[in-house]
Amino acid sequence: GRCSMPLPSGYQPELDATPLLTDEAINYYQSELGRIDIYVDVAKLSHYLVNPRQGHLQAMYHIYAFLKRHDRCTMVFDDKILTFSSADFPEFDWMDFYGDVEEAIPPNAPEP
């Protein structure tokens, strides 16, 4: 079929319940996924580098099919250096939002 978008329509990798990949297929998935750069969809699949499923691998193949279909497209990177001012980040008193709370520290946490 034709691939009109990088991932299959409606695909939700976080809900993938297909069988886990073999060690060899995991290595393939990790190495191939690192070669493409379609930000949002690749980022979605990158969450599953440690424990990918067969559906994740199929989604990666779908991305490749999309790239093959769009072989005349060009990626353009903006090399403009952004500058920020401290005025861009106003001070905020988080006490109004969180109140007087303390972070829960696990008993087995190392000393800071």
Q: Give me the torsion for CA of 106, 108, 111, 112, rounded to 10°.
A: -40
pLDDT at site 86: 87
pLDDT at site 102: 86
Classify the C-alpha dihedral 68-69-71-75 as positive or negative: negative
Give which of 44, 76, 72 is closest to 60, Cα–Cα: 44
**Per residue in 93-108, pLDDT tens?**
888 888 888 888 888 9
pLDDT at site 16: 92
Q: Is the model more confident about 43 or about 112?
A: 43
Tell me if 61 sits within 8 A of 10, measured CB to CB.
no
**Per residue in 61-84, pLDDT tens?**
998 888 888 777 666 667 888 888
Which residues partner with 53 through β-bridges? 20
How far apart are the C-alpha atoms of 88 and 10, rounded to whole Å? 37
